[in-house]
């Protein structure tokens, strides 16, 4: 077991850039995987919006989008975005790159395991994309993959090999995430430099740590569900699939019948609700996995660019912990109409309201950080401010959905789609943008272009609000989700104008993302050269060169004397005190 940080940096292209053990390279590999994934996901959503606007359109190469293809678009859009973008870039991307540096470590705890987790994620992504190209195509059961639709190949196109590949891809992703999670946890607990106590860690590190804990405990449950579903689909078991089904004339699992292997079956009843419980027990922590790192980045940036300590650091830490713990206790709020016991619904509902409280605390504290500050409007800060706005908007539709009596009308409508897009599809993405613009100078030694960044910000902020805020109106009016045609129900007719508006807004917003991509790649080569600490920030990554050397701190172990948010300390000579500045600089 060699420890790379005790050795010289690797040489050769393969060791340096392909099978690297360096957490910085691995972080970038994850980031760029997510970048490819987000473009795939974005194109899928482009087709969704085109289809809703012009249902009869004949797209080049693709042709006319049939109802089952529409469902495939939204299934794969959701799956790819949630797993390969939102669970990847903020945590495995930025977390891998910056967690060790921010705590003063030369690398992650287990570099080889780190490399393995990236490549497993990569294989998972390839398998997921392969589903598009096999016979029958990619699955259409939604990213939620409810049984029996997902378990019975004859229930729809794409539910054959494509669905099996989907499950295998997700299972691989689970294994990769578990490996990554235990790396993050061990690193945070064991590799902090002297003086870096837990309560001196930047909130980004707390967010990555709690996110890793969530991932560690949640992905195993999804893996279990996936294994049982594969067995139901291929080996004739009945964990989830009840007997006595007549799927459009195909009788499945009849008692006394034979399973695919030719062996007699005597069971008649699996539980579709069991799949939902297993899926959502994972699925709810998953959405907190998607948002927590963005919250960490927002806290970091709001403090840095307001030149003011984060308001209520300890409360922020406790809020992250509370969100993490409560996140495991609320999964039933996705199942209020499922046939689950109404008493369980009551319990889940109360827990869900409870989780709104730490979220509110964080929002108040972000506002409290801005208040009395001296705000500098660099592009990273714009995205952090946008994050707060989007989190408020997306979060406040939560109390509607958390109450079962209101959820009855809103479940499976566009209200839900608007809610989770504002939080995951926009706020979490803003967290990724914010992190990119903020840490780009450290990763590449150059600045991203501020003008292009501001253009990207304003169009994206207005555009995403224009796409997703109207979804709440649609949902309240009863507009259902996952509908490939909107012409069958009379009460949907007055809502078509909004759908058109949303599609046009989406086209503009998607176009604006190319500004970001151009800025990203152009600045890598042509951006203004960056100083070592262009934002005048206090955390450890701003003490090392850009990009940092192989072992981060050049063989010198940092010693930490200050907390992470010592900005504008009265009596100090400059308006920031780095965490590694000598202890005599301030009493804190």
Partner 1 sequence: MATTLSPVAVDQIGGRGPTLAPPPRDGGWGGGRPDDPRNRLRRYRIGMLFALAAVVMLFVSFTSAYIVRQGMGTWSDASARYVTDWQPISLPPILWINTVILLLSSFTLAMAQRTLSRKLRTAPRGGTSPAAEPALIATDQRSIPWLGITLVLGAGFLVGQLLAWEQLRHLGIFVSTNPSSSFFYVLTGTHGIHLLGGVLALAYAGLTSLLRKPLATRFLVVDVTALYWHFMDFLWIYIFALLHFAR
Partner 2 sequence: MGLALLFIIWLITLSSTYYFVIQKWAPLPVASANGVAIDHHFTWTYILMGIVFLAAQLALGYLVWKHRDRGQKVQYSHGNTTMEVTWTLLTAVLFFGLNLSGEKIWAEARFQGAAPGAVQVEVTGLQFAWYFRYPGPDGKLGHTKPELEDASVGNPVGIDPDDPAGKDDVVTGTMYLPVDREAELVLRSQDVIHSLFIPAMRFKQDAVPGLMIHMHFTPTKLGDYEIACAQLCGLGHYKMHGMLKVVSQADYDKWLAAKVAEKLSQ
CB atoms within 10 A of CB 491: 9
Residues of span 115-154 touching partner 2 by CB under 8 A: 140-142, 146-149, 152
- According to DSSP, the β-strands at 245-247 and 250-252 are antiparallel
Alpha-carbon distance of 9 to 357, in angstroms, equals: 47
Residue 90 contacts which entry, partner 2, partner 1, none (Cβ below 5-8 A, type-dependent): none
Place of tokens 């930025």: 94
Query: Interface residues for partner 1 in 222-251 (CB under 8 A)?
Result: 223-225, 227-228, 231, 235-239, 242-244
Decide: is 485 part of the binding site for partner 2 (CB under 8 A): yes
Binding-site member from 52, 537, 560, 577 for partner 1 (CB under 8 A)? 560
Q: Which of 71, 181, 492, 569 binds partner 1 (CB under 8 A)?
A: 181
Kindly give the interhelix angle for 111-130 and 23-53, rounded to the nearest 10 degrees: 20
What part of residues 198-227 is at the interface with partner 1 (CB under 8 A)? Answer: 198, 200, 216-221, 223-225, 227
Residue 471 interacts with partner 1 (CB under 8 A)? no
Question: For partner 2, which is the closer residue by CB, 5 or 308?
Answer: 308
Beta bridge pairs of residue 250: 247
**Among positions 279, 280, 516, 567, the unique one binding partner 2 when judged by CB under 8 A:** 567
Residue 585 is a binding residue for partner 2 (CB under 8 A)? no
DSSP letters for 413-433: BHHHHHHHIIIIIIIIHHHHH
Q: How many other C-beta atoms can be found within 10 angstroms of the C-beta atom of residue 153?
A: 20
Task: List the interface residues with partner 1, window 106-165 (CB under 8 A).
Answer: 106, 109-110
CB of 563 to partner 2, least distance (A): 9
For residue 231, the partner it binds in partner 2, partner 1, none, with Cβ less than 5 to 8 A by kind, is partner 1
**245-247 and 63-64: which strand pairing?**
unpaired
Note whether 443 and 464 are within 8 A (CB): no
Q: How many residues does the chain have?
A: 588
Interactions with partner 1, residue window 25-84 (CB under 8 A) = none
Do residues 459 and 327 touch, judged by C-beta distance below 8 A? no
Residue 206, binding choice from partner 1, partner 2, none, Cβ under 5 to 8 Å by partner class: none
CA–CA gap between residue 138 and residue 305 (Å, rounded) = 45
**Least distance in Å: CB of 11 to partner 1?**
19
Contacts of partner 2 in 367-386 (CB under 8 A): 367-368, 370-377, 382, 385
Q: What is the DSSP letter of 555?
A: T
Q: Per rule CB under 8 A, is residue 256 in the interface with partner 1?
A: no
427 binds partner 1 (CB under 8 A): no
Give the residue, chosen from 159, 178, 502, 510, that forms a contact with partner 1 under the rule CB under 8 A: 178
Binds 321: which of partner 1, partner 2, none (CB < 5-8 Å by kind): none
In the complex, least distance from residue 349 CB atom to partner 2, rounded to whole angstroms: 6
Closer residue to partner 2 in complex, CB, 71/129: 71
Q: DSSP readout, 240-303? A: S--SSEEETTEEES-TT-B-TTS-B-------HHHHHHHHHHHHHHHHHHHHHHHHHHHHHHHH
In the complex with partner 2, the residue whose CB is nearer, 117 or 413, is 413
Among residues 6, 14, 408, 583, the one that binds partner 2 under rule CB under 8 A? 408
> If binding is defined by CB under 8 A, does position 266 make contact with partner 1?
yes
Return the closest-CA partner of residue 102 out of 31, 34, 24: 24
State CA 5 to chain mean position distance: 30
Question: What whole-number distance in Å separates Cα of residue 120 and Cα of residue 181?
Answer: 14
User: Per rule CB under 8 A, is residue 190 in the interface with partner 1?
Assistant: yes
Is 226 an interacting residue with respect to partner 2 (CB under 8 A)?
Answer: no
Selection from 373, 366, 311, 308 nearest residue 568 by Cα: 308
- Asked if 557 touches partner 1 (CB under 8 A), the answer is yes
8 binds partner 1 (CB under 8 A): no
> Among 427, 426, 408, which Cα is nearest to 362's?
427
- What are the residues binding partner 1 (CB under 8 A)? 1-3, 5-6, 103-106, 109-110, 178, 181-183, 185-186, 189-198, 200, 216-221, 223-225, 227-228, 231, 235-239, 242-244, 259, 261, 263-271, 274, 277-278, 281, 557, 560
């Amino acid at each position: 077991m060699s420890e790379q940080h005790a050795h010289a940096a690797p040489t050769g292209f393969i060791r340096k850039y392909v099978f690297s053990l360096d957490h910085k390279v691995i972080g970038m590999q994850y980031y760029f995987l997510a970048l490819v994934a987000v473009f795939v996901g974005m194109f899928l959503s482009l087709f969704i919006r085109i289809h809703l606007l012009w249902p009869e359109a004949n797209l080049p190469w693709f042709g006319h989008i049939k109802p089952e293809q529409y469902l495939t678009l939204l299934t794969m859009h959701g799956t790819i975005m949630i797993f390969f973008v939102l669970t990847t870039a903020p945590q495995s991307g930025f977390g891998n790159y910056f967690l060790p540096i921010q705590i003063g470590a030369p690398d992650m705890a287990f570099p080889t395991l780190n490399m393995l987790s990236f490549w497993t994620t990569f294989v998972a992504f390839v398998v997921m994309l392969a589903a598009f190209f096999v016979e029958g195509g990619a699955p259409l059961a939604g990213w939620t993959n409810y049984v029996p639709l997902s378990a019975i190949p004859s229930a729809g196109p794409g539910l054959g090999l494509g669905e099996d590949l989907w499950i295998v891809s997700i299972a691989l992703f689970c294994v990769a995430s578990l490996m990554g999670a235990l790396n993050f946890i061990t690193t945070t607990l064991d590799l902090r430099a002297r003086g870096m106590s837990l309560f001196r860690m930047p909130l980004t590190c707390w967010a990555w740590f709690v996110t890793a804990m969530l991932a560690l405990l949640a992905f195993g449950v999804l893996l279990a569900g996936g294994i049982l579903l594969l067995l139901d689909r291929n080996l004739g078991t009945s964990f989830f699939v009840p007997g006595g089904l007549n799927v459009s004339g195909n009788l499945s699992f009849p008692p006394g019948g034979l399973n695919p292997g030719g062996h007699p079956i005597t069971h008649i009843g699996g539980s579709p609700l069991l799949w939902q419980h297993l899926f959502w027990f994972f699925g709810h922590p998953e959405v907190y996995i998607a948002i927590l790192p963005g919250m960490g980045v927002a806290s970091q940036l709001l403090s840095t660019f307001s030149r003011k300590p984060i308001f209520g650091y300890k409360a922020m830490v406790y809020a992250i912990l509370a969100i993490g713990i409560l996140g495991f206790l609320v999964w039933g709020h996705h199942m209020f109409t499922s046939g689950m016991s109404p008493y369980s619904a009551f319990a889940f509902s109360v827990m869900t309201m409870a989780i709104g409280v730490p979220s509110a605390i964080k929002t108040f504290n972000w506002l409290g950080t801005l208040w009395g500050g001296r705000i500098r409007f660099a592009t990273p800060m714009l995205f952090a401010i946008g994050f707060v706005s989007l989190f408020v908007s997306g979060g406040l539709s939560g109390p509607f959905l958390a109450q079962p009596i209101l959820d009855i009308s809103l479940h499976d409508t566009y209200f839900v789609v608007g809610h989770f897009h504002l939080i995951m599809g926009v706020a979490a993405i803003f967290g990724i943008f914010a992190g990119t613009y903020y840490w780009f100078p450290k990763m590449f030694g150059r600045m991203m272009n501020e003008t292009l960044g501001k253009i990207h910000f304003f169009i994206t902020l207005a555009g995403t609000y224009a796409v997703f805020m109207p979804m709440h109106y649609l949902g309240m009016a009863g507009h259902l989700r996952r509908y490939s045609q909107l012409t069958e129900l009379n009460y949907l007719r007055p809502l078509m104008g909004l759908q058109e508006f949303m599609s046009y807004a989406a086209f503009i917003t998607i176009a604006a993302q190319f500004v970001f991509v151009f800025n990203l790649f152009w600045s890598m080569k042509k951006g203004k050269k960056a100083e070592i600490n262009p934002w005048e920030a206090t955390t450890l990554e701003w003490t090392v060169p850009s990009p940092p050397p192989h072992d981060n701190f050049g063989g010198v172990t940092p010693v930490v004397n200050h907390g992470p948010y010592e900005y504008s300390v009265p009596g100090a000579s400059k308006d920031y005190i780095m965490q590694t500045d000598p202890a005599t600089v301030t009493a804190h």
